[in-house]
Amino acid sequence: MCISTFFLFCQIDKKMNNATIKAKRGIIMIEIENLKINLESLISNSDRVMIFPHKGPDFDAIAASLGVSLISDKLKVDNHIVIGDQMCKLFPGVQKMIEKEKDNHSMIDTEEYKKAKTKKTLNILCDVNKPQLTWVERFNKNRLAIIDHHDVDDETFEAILRHIDTSATSASEIATALVSKSKIKIPENIANSLLAGILLDTDDSIRRLTGDSSRVLTTLYRFGASSSKANEFFQEDIKNNEKVQDLVKKGIKFALIMGDEDVEYSKEDLAKAANKLLRCPVNMSFAIGNIGEGIVSISGRSKESDNVGEIMRQLEGGGGPCSGATKLSDTTVDEAGKRLLRVVFPNHFGRKQKNTK
């Protein structure tokens, strides 16, 4: 059996002309075809398949694992999704996704995995490529395949098959393209799970997706997926957030998360956190964290009813109606939060701030 191991690192230059984009699209389709051929060959020559999402699995990891399970099912090879975390410790939305599929797809823990694996077992990692993020830190590289979209480094597993596409929005995008190439009918529940996985890793920016990503969405919609159904998984997590619910009950449409004082974040981390927080039933969301060199950054997002850029300008920053940020020096995360609240509450909740001068 000849298996060609390959890597895929694609980054699209926004200034590429149409011919270059079409050429890249052709390369990606060839790589997906190669992935299909090689993965199906590995699966067919195995007695069973063990599919691993990462520790603390999210929608993307579980959905991609379900997609790979569909391929094993098509080839009539016994397969199991291995989840080492206790169900009660997973996010409610992830629990719901697993509950919907546990009768159709085998879910086992690491102890069951150890008892069931054999020398001919194929292990497939989905949405992960590093030992510290998996429940099993050692695999036979000749019985390991990886499907992922995260960066590779010196700690990345060696494997007989590694499809790591850093230009993909998510592992769910890769899995959808792979299942589609295998001409498998995707059940509606799994189509919605895959859509949720893409939504998670694109910060709900589906409307801005183009090219190969948008074609993947078309595939999922064709099999019955819808944004409203996919968002139901996120709603489960929102329902579980008692603090958010308390704010909503009080009529406060404002959400704030603050990073640890001793942890250094990137501006991108804070922007993503604010984006995800805006999925809650709020009008504005803010993320505050230390970005190094004694600077604390605030990233804000808002819906149309509030101008977050104006709020940031009052804190020495700027931005537009729906997105804004500022950087504050010689302060702490806690103090930056207090400064933000002093600006937001008088302007949006009718509270008057006393003159402290």
pLDDT tens profile 155-205? 999 999 999 998 888 999 999 999 999 999 999 999 999 999 988 766 555
User: Distance (Å, rounded) from C-alpha 327 to C-alpha 150?
Assistant: 29
User: Distance (Å, rounded) from C-alpha 186 to C-alpha 153?
Assistant: 33
To the question of pTM greater than 0.85 for the whole model, the response is: no
**Which of the pair, 354 or 283, is modelled with greater confidence?**
283
Q: How many helices (H) and strands (E) are present in the chain, helices listed first?
A: 12, 11
Which range, of 65-69, 89-93, 163-167, averages the lowest pLDDT?
Answer: 89-93
For residue range 322-336, list pLDDT tens digits in order. 889 999 998 999 999
Domain boundaries, the chain: 18-233, 243-349
Residue 88: pLDDT over 50: yes
User: Distance (Å, rounded) from C-alpha 357 to C-alpha 355?
Assistant: 6
- 323-329/295-302 β-pairing: antiparallel
CATH of domain 18-233: 3.90.1640.10
pLDDT for position 244: 52
User: Distance (Å, rounded) from C-alpha 164 to C-alpha 67?
Assistant: 16
Q: Which CATH architecture has domain 243-349?
A: Roll (3.10)
